[in-house]
Amino acid sequence: MEILYLMIICSVSLAVVFLIIFIIGAKKGHFEDDESPAVRILMDDEIREEKPDDNKQEEKDNSDL
């Protein structure tokens, strides 16, 4: 029965440590990522649309070979 009390104390202590780390991270702004990588990959197409002339120029250069 003593081991049960020890395990409860350890698990609650670990939970409190994780909660404190989470609160510190939230206060410092680690979770305020407005444009995550999942959203940035969708915006990558807009950048490619701006440079279609570069691809045509490379195709012309390659066809000269």
Task: Spell out the per-residue pLDDT of the chain, length 65, in tens.
Answer: 999 999 999 999 999 999 999 999 999 988 777 667 677 777 766 555 555 555 556 656 666 55
- The pLDDT score that the predictor gives to residue 27 is 93
- The pLDDT score that the predictor gives to residue 12 is 98
Q: Are 31 and 25 in contact (CB under 8 A)?
A: yes
pTM more than 0.75: no
- The pLDDT score that the predictor gives to residue 16 is 98
HSE, CB side, 13 Å, CA atoms: give it for residue 43.
Answer: 6
